[in-house]
Each structure stands twice: as structure tokens, then as C-alpha cells.
Structure 1
Amino acid sequence: MPRIQIELPDAFPFSTELTLYLSHMNAAGHLDNALLLTLVSEARCRFFASMGHKELDVDGRGVIVSDAALQYLSEAFHGETVIVEIAPQDFNKYGCDLMWRMRERDSGREIARGKTGIVFFDYQARRIAPVPEVFRQRFVDAT
């Protein structure tokens, strides 16, 4: 089976720094693969907060992760500070992909990259909902 290869966009409109704690490490002493996704989830939450939203309220709609793909590129260790960058792309009627890259802050070493597919959800109606137009326009008009 071929390896996953993730192509990143040229620019990322959002970035945040996260410190790697001992609780993020696995038995081998480097960043645990499952906890890497936890860090990406924290970055995604901060991404929405930077626009004044919560993941459960983006112009009245919630966000649900529909799929995820990632590519590990190097180890990361306790005490390092990482930068997670996020760029929305490939919009459809109900969602988009949040492309992301994680780098070590001081060296710039790329640790991982990936995409998280999201769909918007109307929790009152209990069904997927169209992408909020304000959110779409913020990124579609920027490209």
C-alpha cells in the first residue's frame, strides 16, 4: 500500500504555539502518535477562537471532524515548543479540509503534517448543515 503524501498550501492564515509536556510522550520518549492529534485538536479550537467562534458555534453551527489523515516526519520531545499552522481549503457545501503543519519552533524542523476534514452540524435539527457563509467568505475570498 502506498504511503500517505500530504501536499500543503503555500500559506497558513493561522498559527499557534504549544508546549510538549511529559504527558504527551510515549514509552519511547517521543511525542505519542495519538496525542499528536490531541495537540492538533487544541490548535483547531484556537483557530476558531481566533475568529471569535467556538467549535460548537460557528455562526450557529457546530463543527464535526469527518476524517483525518496525517504524515509523521520527525520525532518531537518533552519540553519542545511546536508551532501548529492551519489553512482551510477544498470547501464543499457542508464543510472543508483544515490543512495543518506542526514544526518545532526553534529549528523549524517539520514534525508532522495532515488534514482534518470538517463538516458543519445543526445540533438542534441533528443533521449536517451548510458551511456558514461568513466563514467560507473569509477564506475563499482570500485565495
Structure 2
Amino acid sequence: MEGYPVVVEEKVRYSDIDAFNHLNNVVFFQLFQQARVAYFEEVGIFSRMGRGEQNLVVGETSCRFLAEGHYGDVVQCGARFARLGTSSCEQQYRLEVRGKPIAEGSAVLVFYDFQTGRSAPLPEPLKARIREIEARAGRVI
């Protein structure tokens, strides 16, 4: 998926389908989350061992639905960063089935200190690693 340095594939399960026989709107956000977690794993800020004392948390998220998804579809889920700020950043998502976009979304992520209960500045090494990953897709942020 061009322009998205981290892409995961997920197969639409029967339980992902709603009464209208298409991908339920909630599942789009779950797919965004799968791509976000894959990106976080690549950056090195997510592990199964826990969140650490500071980490990125979702402050806001949105989705623009473009087409239906159906049972059995294989959905490509792409993630990329659009902006790196002082203590927050924006990540963008794209979902495709057979090369056709079915949704685009975004999330504002806040670097959060769990000890103080407040936002904290994004560490420069974190920003550098994100820029390195984005460069693989020919992107500069």
C-alpha cells in the first residue's frame, strides 16, 4: 500500500458482519487499532510486557467510510504518521480490499505520563524512529 510504511492484513470474520451483511462500523476502528499496534511494535513503544511509564494514548479518532467490507475479505490496513507535535501527533489509516479503499481514518495520539496523569513532550529518539520508518515509504514528516 503506497505511502503507508506499516501494513497488516486481517481477514473479515463472520462475527465482524452486522445485520446488513457488511462489515460493522465498529470493526473499522478495530482494524485501525491493529495497524496502530503493528506500527507501535515496529517503533518499539509497545510490548506485551506492558505500557511502561510513558506511552502514546488515543486522544481522538475518526473514520470516513468509503465502501462496504464483507465476510471473507482480506483487508489491508495501513498506518502512517501525518504530524509530530510537541506532546501529540497524528496518525492516519487506510483500509483496502483488493486494492480498493474502503475507509480512511485518523487518530490524535498524546504522549502520556502515567505517573503524573498528564501529557509529556514526545521524546526526540521516538520522533527520530518514526521519521526513519516514514522514510521507508518515501515520506518526510
Give TM-score, length-normalised by structure 1: 0.83
Residue 105 (structure 2) aligned to one of 96, 114, 119: 114
How many matched pairs? Answer: 130
What is the aligned counterpart of 2:130 among 124, 139, 143?
A: 139
Task: Check whether the contact 1:61–1:132 (CA below 8 A) recurs between aligned residues.
Answer: no
Q: CA deviation at 1:53?
A: 2.5
Distance of 2:66 and 2:27 partners within structure 1:
15
- CA–CA distance in structure 2, aligned partners of residues 120 and 111 of structure 1: 29
Identity across aligned pairs (percent)? 26
State the Cα distance separating 1:25 from its structure 2 match: 1.0
Q: 1:92 aligns with which of 85, 89, 98?
A: 85
- The residue type paired with residue 93 of structure 1 is T
Distance 2:86 2:45 in 1: 20
For 1:77 and 1:54, the matched residues in 2 are separated by 30
Q: Which runs of 5+ in 2 are unaligned?
A: none
For 2:9, the equivalent position in structure 1 comes to 17
**How does 1:1-143 map onto structure 2 within 5 Å?**
11-54=3-46, 56-57=51-52, 60-104=53-97, 107-140=98-131, 142=135, 143=140
Counterpart amino acid of 2:46?
K
60-69 vs 84-93, which moves further: 60-69
Q: Distance in 1 between matches of 2:35 and 2:86?
A: 24
Report the equivalent of 1:5.
Answer: none
**1:77-103 Cα deviation digits (max 9, x unpaired):** 111111111111211101211111000
Name 1:3's counterpart in structure 2. Answer: none
Distance 1:140 1:49, change over 3 A: closer
Contact 1:95-1:119 at 8 Å conserved across structures: yes
Structure 1 alignment gaps of length 5 or more: 1-9
Q: Shift of the alpha carbon at 1:126?
A: 1.2
The 8 Å contact of residues 19 and 82 in structure 1, kept in 2 or not, is answered as yes
- Specify the code of the residue in structure 2 equivalent to 1:32: N
Give, in angstroms, the shift of residue 114 of structure 1.
Answer: 1.1
Per-residue deviation, residues 14-34 of structure 1 (Å, max 9, x unmatched): 111111111111111111111
Alpha-carbon distance change, 120 to 91 in structure 1, aligned in 2, over 3 angstroms:
same
Provide the TM-score with structure 2 as the length reference: 0.84
